[in-house]
Chain A
Amino acid sequence: MAQLRRYYQRFVKLDTEIIVAGPEKPEAFREYWTKENLPFIGLPDPEHKVLKLYGQQVKLFKLGRMPAQMLIDKKGSVRFVHYGHSMSDIPSNQEIIELIEKQI
């Protein structure tokens, strides 16, 4: 998350907002956002509405939720999807920024 923060201004320059969704409650988000000084939108989703809508993979017996990233363009189309297969399976911010620069 700290990494994403370092790249935030580059995303902003590319007209891109970042929304971080997670199953934690609003208080947990508030605490973490304050502590880490995070600039993006934090979306508590304890009922897993958005998580289910976007099909975040849940591996029940092993590691819990896997990370996932989606890039949606100004027309509302999905332009990039990555479903992680492990906790560390996250595309680099640089990779996503290059995609925005090239495609959108």
Chain B
Amino acid sequence: MSRVELNTAAPDFTMTDFTGKSVSLADFRNKKNVLVVFNRGFF
């Protein structure tokens, strides 16, 4: 499985959040840093 490398372009994605709103990584370009957290589960 590929991994993300430091100081390279982050792979873009467009997904729908749980409220139904579309979220793209590109939306944050030049506006905000983004911390992406992958969790194993909530429960």
Chain A residues within 8 Å of B, Cβ to Cβ: 1, 4, 11, 14-24, 26-30, 32-33, 41-45, 49-58, 63-81, 83, 87, 96, 100, 104
Contact = CB atoms under 8 A, between A and B. Distances in A.
Interface residues of B, number: 37
B13 A56 contact: no
Contacts, number: 158
Interface of B: 1-13, 15-19, 23, 25-26, 28-43
B1 A17 contact: no
A19 B36 contact: yes
Contact of B33 (A4, A29, A72): A72
A42 B20 CA distance: 10
A58 to B, nearest CB: 8
30 contacts: A1-B42, A11-B35, A15-B31, A16-B33, A19-B36, A19-B37, A20-B37, A22-B39, A22-B41, A24-B41, A33-B18, A42-B18, A43-B23, A44-B16, A45-B15, A50-B36, A51-B38, A52-B1, A53-B13, A67-B37, A70-B35, A71-B36, A74-B28, A74-B31, A74-B32, A76-B9, A76-B25, A78-B5, A80-B6, A83-B3
